[in-house]
Structure 1
Amino acid sequence: MGFAYLLALLVSLTGMVVLDRRFGLFFWRAPRAAAVVLAAGVLFFLAWDLVGISAGIFYRGETAFMTGLQVAPELPIEEVFFLTFLCYLFMNALQGARVLLERGHAS
C-alpha cells in the first residue's frame, strides 16, 4: 500500500498526457517550449517547498499510502510527481481554454 499515492499520481499524469495528445494542447503543440515551461514550474515549486521546509513551515506527513522515499529531508518523492502533475494540469487547462475561446470567436 506504500505506493498507492505515487501510483495515483502516475495515473493522473498519464491522463494529462492522453488529454494533451488527444487535443494537441501542450507538449504536442510546442514540445521544446512545453518542456521549458514545465521544468521551470516544477523547479519554482520545488524551490518554494525547500524554502518552506527550511523555515519549518512544511514537513513530510506520515501515511501508509506513501513510499517513504525522500529526495531531500522532509521532501518525499511523491511531491516531485505531484508538482509535475499540477504544472501539467494547469498548462493543459490554460491551452484548453485558449482553444475553446478561439473556437468561440471563429463561429
Structure 2
Amino acid sequence: MPGAYLAAILLSAAGIAALDARFRLAFWDRPGRTAAAVAIGTAFFLVWDAVGIATGVFVKGDSPLYVGVDLAPHLPLEEPVFLAFLCYLALVLHAAASRRLRLAPRTGQEVRR
C-alpha cells in the first residue's frame, strides 16, 4: 500500500501536535523557536544522511509502503518528513519533561536512581 509509511508519520505528527496544542508545550508556546529548532535539526540530520549515503552506509530499502518519490539517490520523500517529526517529538517531550520537573512537589528527599 504505497504511502502508508508517510501517512503513519503524518498521523503521528498530528497526534503530537494535538498534545502540543492542548498543553502549549512547544509550537503553541513559542512557534518561532520551535520552527527554527525543527528546521535546524532536520537540516543537520539530512546532512548526516547525505554523508551516510555518500559513504555507502545508508541505502534505501525496498518497501511497498513508500510513496515511491526519491529526492536523491537512497533518499525517499518520507525521510525529511520523518526527521522533522523526530525533531518536533523531541522538543515536545523535552518541554513536557521540563514542565513536569518544574511543577513536581519539592519534598526535600533525594531522588533515587
Tell me the secondary structure at the aligned position of residue 71 of structure 2.
Answer: strand
Q: Which residue number in structure 2 is paired with residue 84 of structure 1? A: 84
Residues 23-70 of structure 1: CA deviation (Å, up to 9, x unaligned): 101111111111111100000000000000000100110011111111
How far does residue 105 in structure 1 lie from its aligned partner after superposition? 4.5
Give, in whole Å, the separation in 2 of the partners of 1:21 and 1:106. 28
Percent identical pairs in the alignment equals 43
Q: Which residue number in structure 2 is paired with residue 45 of structure 1? A: 45
Q: Which residue number in structure 1 is paired with residue 103 of structure 2? A: 103
Gaps of 5+ in 2: 108-113
Equivalent residues, number: 107
Q: Which residue number in structure 2 is paired with residue 34 of structure 1? A: 34
Amino acid at match of 2:79: E
**Higher percent of residues as helix:** 1
How far does residue 18 in structure 1 lie from its aligned partner after superposition? 0.5
Amino acid at match of 2:41: G
Gaps of 5+ in 1: none
How far does residue 16 in structure 1 lie from its aligned partner after superposition? 1.4
Give, in whole Å, the separation in 1 of the partners of 2:88 and 2:4. 21
How far does residue 106 in structure 1 lie from its aligned partner after superposition? 6.8
TM-score, normalized by length of structure 1? 0.95
- Deviation above 2 Å: which 4+ runs of structure 1? none
Tell me the secondary structure at the aligned position of residue 12 of structure 1.
Answer: helix
Q: CA RMSD in A?
A: 1.3
Tell me the secondary structure at the aligned position of residue 71 of structure 1.
Answer: strand
